[in-house]
Amino acid sequence: MAVHQTAVVDKSAQLDSRVEVGPYAVIGADVNIGAHTKVEAHAVVSGPSTIGERNLIGSFATVGGAPQDVNYKGEPTELIIGDDNQIREYASIHRGTPGGKQKTVIGNHCLMMAYIHIAHDCQIADNVVMANLATLAGHVQVGERAAIGGLVAIHQFCRIGAFSYIGGVSGIGLDVPPYVIVAGIRDATRVSGINKVGLRRSGFSREVISNLDAVFRIIYRSPNLLLKDSLELARKEFGDCDEVQYMIEFFEASKRGVIRRTEV
């Protein structure tokens, strides 16, 4: 274990022998860090937090801090981070709350760029990208391989569907469906179509992308159909496609409502 002589590591922290801790970093109580994770200079890691292997925690990042919740009274909630994530400089990630899931969870292979914020009780799946200054309020769920652009702000309890793409400087107050491209601020937020480039890069077949595109047109380009009727038609026509089924179920499970506006 390479711990710089100026770093401060709490006696109760459990660091694998292959962890690297840079100058003036602080590792607090009840922190568990896996092999080959690097904590750069001046970063602060608080607990209870469990951080997996081969992660990078950038300079001046604050990881595992107490939730910004007026009802939080110091309860031992938790942050869990998987493997192979990059958490860049000045990022802030907070633990959960007793009134939520009691833990904030980040999966594997995520890229969290400079100055991002992940609030209490968020659930982040694998391979998510958050660009600089993207912000998640509490209880946000982000699906696999979602990409969130710079300066994006997402309202608490929103769900961001897998393989979706949110353009920079967007304000999101409703659920973002999987597989789509979204951009805009609040009432001006628009869904422009299926994220075809992202899906191709992720290895989706032409047939699946074509199915999703057809379902998008049914849901978003059928002004004479109610949403429930659009979903019923999509299930009837393409329900044997797993990705389409996931998209339909995402709409049906929404509690906040799903972004429905489209570009003209």
Pick the catalytic residue from 94, 117, 120, 139.
120
CA distance 87 to 110: 8
CA distance 264 to 262: 6
Q: Report which of 93, 87, 90 is spatially closest to residue 105, judged by C-alpha positions.
A: 93
Q: Tokens in use for 39?
A: 């904590």
CA distance 68 to 77: 13
The burial of 261, by beta-carbon neighbours within 10 Å (0-12 exposed, 13-18 middle, 19 or more buried), is given as middle
Pick the catalytic residue from 28, 100, 138, 149.
138
Active site residue 120: yes
Pick the catalytic residue from 69, 121, 143, 149.
121
CA distances to 30, 178, 249, 258 from 245, rounded to whole Å, are 41, 11, 6, 16
Residues known to be catalytic:
120-121, 138
